[in-house]
Structure 1
């Protein structure tokens, strides 16, 4: 017979090891820092329909390719521990 406590401990260890969430929505923003100074781009990630959120500070050179990857991907995930966006089901044209 399975030990319920051991199963719960295994699940908790797995959750600690993998902090990957599905990006269900995102919002890109630009904020002025000071008059005449460069602004800052951010991308707010809504993860697993609002279970968690994460804000990325995005360099201007990275924003356009990132938004194109979001548009092309059928399924995007974010690893909270490694801070990695993963875009799935992209066509290799």
Structure 2
């Protein structure tokens, strides 16, 4: 099999994957000016960099997401539906 064919098949297989494991999260806050609420965003690194997703929640939702990130043993992201799946959520706390 030619190298180009292998690369094409790998890209096709990657495109079929709809749910990926979140392997890292980069959180960000940006100022919106004086006396204005800032904006939060989370960059989800999926499958060690195979793909990335940007989530831009409201300030209130950011607080809930941070709690869920901490309480979950694993995170997954459905790239087609743009849904974060929290696995093994601890009910303590």
TM-score, normalised to structure 1's length?
Answer: 0.74
Provide the rounded CA distance (Å) in 2 between the counterparts of 1:56 and 1:49. 17
Indicate the RMSD between aligned Cα atoms, in angstroms. Answer: 2.1
Aligned equivalent of 2:58? 59
How far apart, in 1, do the equivalents of 2:91 and 2:31 lie?
37
1:66 deviates by: 0.6
Residue 22 of structure 2: aligned partner: 23
Segments of 4+ in structure 1 off by > 6 A?
none
Unaligned 5+ segments in structure 1 are 1-7
Q: Distance in 2 between matches of 1:91 and 1:35?
A: 38
Aligned equivalent of 2:82? 83
Paired residue total = 81
Q: Which consecutive unaligned segments of at least 5 residues does structure 2 have?
A: 1-8
Q: Which has the larger radius of gyration?
A: 1
Match of 1:58, SS state, is: coil
Cα distance in 2, alignment partners of residues 30 and 19 from structure 1: 28
